[in-house]
Amino acid sequence: MDDVSRAYDQWAPSYDSDRNATRDLDAFALRSSGLSLRDANVVEFGCGTGKNSEWIAEHARSLTAMDFSPAMLRRARERVRGDHVRFVQHDVRTTWPVESATVDVVVGNLVLEHVEQLRPVFAEAARVLRVGGALYVAELHPYKQWRGSQAHFTDGASGEVVHVPAFVHAVSDYITDALAVGFTLTRICELTEGGAEPDAPPRLLTLVFQRTGVVAAYGAAG
Ligand SMILES: C[S@@+](CC[C@H](N)C(=O)[O-])C[C@H]1O[C@@H](n2cnc3c(N)ncnc32)[C@H](O)[C@@H]1O
């Protein structure tokens, strides 16, 4: 089993109840993003315990939510029910179990810091989206990562602090790799939580891309 998947299996029992400013800001950011889910077929990659799946399922026509951690996924399945919701255990770095050009919105929150290569994930998002569809990505801001922030938790049984393996992607990495597979950037936000020090770096980076059907000439080979 992958180290990241193993770590999230261990984190699953306390993921929703731990103090976690990034998780909470992410939930707020998605719900206030203006992303239109009405009548939308949505794919969520790295759905975790279903914190955002719950909100998506309330608004969308259908939701396919993927995660490779069985324990995180079990919690999501308990939390979100409905004939229009499908949870799939899947590694999002490999071909998604979704038909091409059938999806209106792809959402991924706090996942890509655990994925070394962004482009294969963006390429799958581009493949499953119809032209004009939206990709919403939210991540721990690289400025925070460069200052040492990394997803971590205290294991309830052993008391051990576990840092989940992570990679830093610059803002330009997200944009370059998304443009290279057929997206255009429509929105970028950098958010700081309420009560943060005035000179604190942004905690969260959110990006919205639109599927254009045109692959940028530069960066396509990289
Ligand atoms: C920080 S949690 C975020 C969960 C949820 N999106 C949220 O915002 O609360 C990251 C999730 O991404 C999942 N994940 C990380 N890498 C993955 C991969 N390659 N394939 C599938 N899931 C992955 C983990 O198992 C974990 O559930």
pLDDT by residue (tens digit) across 167-176?
999 999 999 9
For the residues 145-158, what does the mean pLDDT come to? Answer: 93
Rg from Cα positions in the chain: 17
Query: How far is C-alpha 113 from the chain's CA centre?
Result: 9
Q: What is the pTM of this model?
A: 0.96
Q: Determine whether the shortest distance from the Cβ of 91 to ligand 1 is under 6 A.
A: yes
pLDDT tens-digit series, residues 46-95: 999 999 999 999 999 999 999 999 999 999 999 999 999 999 999 999 99
Evaluate whether residue 218 is within a structural domain.
no
In a domain, 196, yes or no: yes
Atom of ligand 1 nearest to the CA of 48: 27
Give CA–CA dist 140/149, Å, rounded: 8
Q: Which of 1, 6, 8, 93 to mutate to test the pocket of ligand 1 (most atoms within 8 A of CB)?
A: 8
* Nearest in space to 107 (alpha carbons), one of 65, 168, 151: 65
Number of domains in the chain: 1
What is the SS3 assignment for 192? coil
The finding on whether 93 has its CB within 6 A of some atom of ligand 1 is yes
In a domain, 31, yes or no: yes
185 domain-assigned: yes
Q: Is residue 222, in this structure, part of any structural domain at all?
A: no
Q: Is residue 126 included in any domain, yes or no?
A: yes
Half-sphere exposure of 10 (CA within 13 A, CB side): 21
Residue 217 lies in a domain: no
Categorize the per-residue pLDDT at 164 as very low, low, confident or very high, splitting at 50, 70 and 90: very high
Q: What is the CATH number of the domain that holds 102?
A: 3.40.50.150
- Residues of the chain with pLDDT > 70, as a percent, come to 96
Asked if residue 221 is part of any domain, the answer here is no
Average pLDDT over residues 178-201: 94
Residue 192: give the domain boundaries: 3-211
Dihedral angle over CA of 25, 28, 33, 36, nearest 10 = 140
**Ligand 1 in reach of 96 Cβ (< 6 A):** no
Query: Cα–Cα distance between 188 and 171 in angstroms, integer?
Result: 10
Report, as an integer, the average pLDDT of 182-205.
94
Tokens, residue 186:
């429509």
- pLDDT surpasses 60 at 184: yes
